Amino acid sequence: ANNVGILAMDIYFPPTCVQQEALEVHDGASKGKYTIGLGQDCMGFCTEVEDVISMSNDLQYSGIFSLTAVSSLLEKYNVDPKQIGRLEVGSETVIDKSKSIKTFLMQIFEKCGNTDIEGVDSTNACYGGTAALFNCVNWVESCSWDGRYGLVVCTDSAVYAEGPARPTGGAAAIAMLIGPDAPITFESKFRGSYMSHAYDFYKPNLASEYPVVDGKLSQTCYLMALDSCYKLFCAKYEKSTGKQFSLSDAAYFVFHSPYNKLVQKGFARLVFNDFVRNASSIDEAAKEKLTPFSTLSGDESYQSRDLEKVSQQVAKPLYEAKVQPTTLVPKQVGNMYTASLYAAFVSLLHNKSSELAGKRVILFSYGSGLTATMFSLKLHEGQHPFSLSNIATVMNVSTKLKSRHEFSTVKFVETIQLMEHRYGGKDFVTSKDCSLLAPGTYYLTEVDSMYRRFYAKK
Ligand code: ACO
C-alpha cells in the first residue's frame, strides 16, 4: 500500500470541566500558578457515568462508526464497520488487568457481523496511543494486510491525588482511521526513539487509579527524551537527504502536552539544540543570547534556570508560529494521556486545515517509565471524505468546547471523591444522570456482582 497514514479522525471529551482559575483559589495556590505557571485554562473530567470505554464507544458510534442515520459520521466518511480489519487501543487507564478495552469495543462490530479484527491494547503511560498507531500503520504496509482499514483509539481519564499534580489531569478519547492514500502520511524514514528505565510516573498501586509521580524527575525525563529523539531524528534526516535538518524544515511541532508550560520548555529545548548544532534556524541575535550557555554539559543544561528562561525568550516568535496553533485542546481539556499528543494535532487541524497541504509536521510522543518517539508527518489536502478540511469539519472542536458545562470546584472534588470510592468496585448502579451528555453519548449504568460493566446510550 502507498501513502499509508491517517484518513480520518474524531475526538470526544467529557462535557464536564472546571476552570483552572477557580482551582487555584480552591487549592490555595498563588494566583496564576495553574494558568500562567502551568499554562492551562480549563480541565475536563469524567463524572461517575463516563469512563474510557464509554468515551471510546462515543467515537465508535457517534464518531466514525455512528449507526444512527442522523448523527452518522459513518455516512460522512462513508466507512462500513465491516471494512475494519484491525483495531488497536492505546490507554493507561486500567479497567481490567486482562480483558482489553478493545474487546469492549467489539460489540459494535459483532452487531455488523464483523469479528475478524486483529489488535489488542497497548500500554505504557501516555505512549500507548503512538504504539497503537505505529502497529496499525505497519499492518497496512505489511504483507499480512488484507485491504481493510485499521482503526486506532486513544482513550484515557487522567486523575491525580489531591496535591500539585491534580490540576494536570484531563480526559478524552480520539479515533484515527488508518489506510492507504491518506491526507496525513508518515515520513517513516525520519524517526527517532528514546526508551529507558525511569521511575518518573508509574501506577504500582493497583487499588488506586492515581499514579505515583516524581514531578520534577518527570519534567527532566521528558526534556532529556526530547533532546535524544531530536538528535536522532536530525541524524536520520541528514543521512537520508544529505541536508542538515533545522526547525525551519517543518511547519509545525506537536508535543505530548501534560501541561502547556512543558510544551513551551520543550520547544525552547529544540531551539537550544539547533543553536548547539549551528543550524540555520538560529539568527545572529539568538546566537548572541545563547552563547553564554554553549559550554554547559548536558546535565547542567537541564538544571540551568537561566538557560530555560533565555531559550524560551529566544524561541518565542518561532513558538507562536510553529507550536501555538497546536495548543488549543490540551490547554482547554488538560492532559489526556495517550490522547494528549493527538489532541494537540487535532487542534492544528482545527486551526489551520486550509493551510496545511504540502506541509511537514513533527510530532513528539512521550510516555513515562519511559518511552518516547519523534516522527514526521506530511500533509496533503486529500479527497473527500478523507480530506483535511472535512476532518476539521467533522471533529467540530469549537462547538464541542463551547457546549461544555463548568462545574464548581466543590462539585468537581465531590465527583473525584465518588470516583475514588467506586474505583475497582462492583455491585453498584450509577445515578444514570446523563442530563449533561449530548444525545447519542454512551454512559455507564451499572457494574454488577461479577464486575461486568453495562452502558446505555442517551
Ligand atoms: N504565577 C505564575 N507562575 C507561577 C506562580 C504564579 N503565581 N506560581 C508558580 N508558578 C510557576 C512556577 O515558577 C513553575 O514554572 P517554571 O517551571 O517555569 O518555573 C510552574 O508555575 C509550576 O510551579 P511548580 O512549583 O514547579 O509546581 P509544582 O511542583 O507544585 O507542580 C508539576 C508542577 C510537578 C508539573 C505537577 O503538577 C505534577 O507533578 N504533574 C504531573 C506530572 C507531569 O505531568 N509530568 C509531565 C511529564 S509526564 C506525564 O505526561 C504524566
Interval 383-413: pLDDT, tens? 988 999 999 998 999 999 999 999 999 999 9
Catalytic residue among 256, 308, 380, 434: 256
Q: What percent of the chain has pLDDT over 90?
A: 85
Question: In the predicted model, is pLDDT for residue 330 greater than 90?
Answer: yes
Mean pLDDT of 39-54: 94
Let me know: does 315 contact 266? Beta carbons within 8 Å. no
Ligand 1 centroid–CA 216 distance in Å is 8
The residue to which cell 541536508 is assigned? 243
Question: In the predicted model, is pLDDT for residue 294 greater than 70?
Answer: yes
Amino acid letter for position 365: S
Return the pLDDT at 62: 43
- What atom of ligand 1 comes closest to residue 24's alpha carbon? 7
Let me know: does 157 contact 134? Beta carbons within 8 Å. no
Q: What does the angle CA 129 – CA 132 – CA 136 come to, to the nearest 5 degrees?
A: 140
**Tally of CB atoms within 10 A around 102:** 21
Mean pLDDT of 70-75: 41
Return the pLDDT at 66: 36
Let me know: does 210 contact 417? Beta carbons within 8 Å. no
Return the pLDDT at 76: 66
Q: Which of 28-42, 95-109, 442-456 has the highest mean predicted lDDT (pLDDT)?
A: 28-42
Tell me which residue has its CA closest to atom 12 in ligand 1. 37
Ligand 1 centroid–CA 139 distance in Å is 39
Q: What percent of the chain has pLDDT over 70?
A: 96
| 37 Cβ closer than 6 Å to some ligand 1 atom | yes
**Tally of CB atoms within 10 A around 187:** 16
- What atom of ligand 1 comes closest to residue 308's alpha carbon? 18
Does 343 or 280 have the greater pLDDT score? Answer: 343
**Residue environment code for 351-376, b if the CB has 16+ CB neighbours within 10 A, otherwise e:** bbbeebeeeebbbbbbbbbbbbbbbb
Question: In the predicted model, is pLDDT for residue 22 greater than 50?
Answer: yes
Cα 83 to Cα 66: distance, rounded to the nearest angstrom:
14
Cα 294 to Cα 312: distance, rounded to the nearest angstrom:
16
Instruction: Give bridge partners of residue 374 from the DSSP assignment.
Output: 192, 364
Return the pLDDT at 80: 84
Q: Read off φ and ψ for residue 263, nearest 5 degrees.
A: -65, -45
Amino acid letter for position 119: G
Question: In the predicted model, is pLDDT for residue 312 greater than 70?
Answer: yes
Tell me the pairing of strands 386-387 and 382-383: antiparallel
Task: With CA atoms as reference, report the closest residue to 156 among 6, 391, 343, 20.
Answer: 343
Mean pLDDT of 53-74: 52
| 73 Cβ closer than 6 Å to some ligand 1 atom | no
Return the pLDDT at 247: 97
- What atom of ligand 1 comes closest to residue 259's alpha carbon? 44
Instruction: Name the pLDDT band for 60 (thresholds 50, 70, 90).
Output: low
Instruction: Name the pLDDT band for 376 (thresholds 50, 70, 90).
Output: very high
Cα 257 to Cα 83: distance, rounded to the nearest angstrom:
33
Tell me the pairing of strands 212-213 and 84-90: unpaired
- 15: DSSP letter: S
421: annotated active-site residue: no
Let me know: does 272 contact 290? Beta carbons within 8 Å. yes
Helix (H, G, I), strand (E, B) or coil at 372: strand
Cα 53 to Cα 67: distance, rounded to the nearest angstrom:
18
Instruction: Name the pLDDT band for 338 (thresholds 50, 70, 90).
Output: very high
| 337 Cβ closer than 6 Å to some ligand 1 atom | no
CA dist 59 → 102, 180, 310, 395, 442 (Å): 13, 22, 42, 11, 10
Question: In the predicted model, is pLDDT for residue 73 greater than 80?
Answer: no
Cα 256 to Cα 344: distance, rounded to the nearest angstrom:
7
Number of residues that make up the chain: 458
Return the pLDDT at 79: 82
Cα 118 to Cα 149: distance, rounded to the nearest angstrom:
11
Q: Which three cell numbers stand for residue 375?
A: 516522527
Ligand 1 centroid–CA 47 distance in Å is 25
Amino acid letter for position 257: S
Does 114 or 107 have the greater pLDDT score? Answer: 114
Does 56 or 96 have the greater pLDDT score? Answer: 96
Let me know: does 225 contact 370? Beta carbons within 8 Å. yes
Tell me which residue has its CA closest to atom 6 in ligand 1. 33
Tell me which residue has its CA closest to atom 21 in ligand 1. 37
Question: In the predicted model, is pLDDT for residue 67 greater than 50?
Answer: no
Return the pLDDT at 68: 31
Q: What is the side-by-side order of every strand in the sheet holding 442-447?
A: 428-429, 442-447, 453-457
Does 79 or 428 have the greater pLDDT score? Answer: 428
Q: What sign for the dihedral angle of Cα 254, 258, 261, 267?
A: negative
| 368 Cβ closer than 6 Å to some ligand 1 atom | yes
| 252 Cβ closer than 6 Å to some ligand 1 atom | no
ipTM above 0.90, yes or no: yes
Task: With CA atoms as reference, report the closest residue to 269 among 221, 333, 236.
Answer: 221
Mean pLDDT of 127-144: 98
Tell me which residue has its CA closest to atom 11 in ligand 1. 37
Catalytic residue among 92, 209, 234, 380: 92
Return the pLDDT at 458: 87
Ligand 1 centroid–CA 100 distance in Å is 33
Residue 265, annotated as binding a ligand: yes
Mean pLDDT of 86-113: 91
| Domains, the chain, ordered by start | 5-457 (3.40.47.10)
Using a CB cutoff of 8 Å and minimum separation of 24, what contacts does 116-120 make? 116/85, 117/84, 117/85, 117/86, 117/87, 118/85, 118/86, 118/87, 119/86, 119/87, 119/88, 119/89, 119/150, 120/88, 120/89
Mean pLDDT (the chain, rounded): 93
Return the pLDDT at 69: 26
Residue 458, annotated as binding a ligand: no
Amino acid letter for position 334: G
Mean pLDDT of 203-219: 96
Helix (H, G, I), strand (E, B) or coil at 9: strand
Which ranges of 28-176 does DSSP label H, i.e. alpha helix? 52-58, 73-77, 101-111, 128-141
Task: With CA atoms as reference, report the closest residue to 65 among 50, 83, 54, 80.
Answer: 80
Cα 197 to Cα 192: distance, rounded to the nearest angstrom:
17
Q: Which three cell numbers stand for residue 376?
A: 514526521
Instruction: Name the pLDDT band for 305 (thresholds 50, 70, 90).
Output: very high
Let me know: does 50 contact 14? Beta carbons within 8 Å. yes
Does 78 or 441 have the greater pLDDT score? Answer: 441
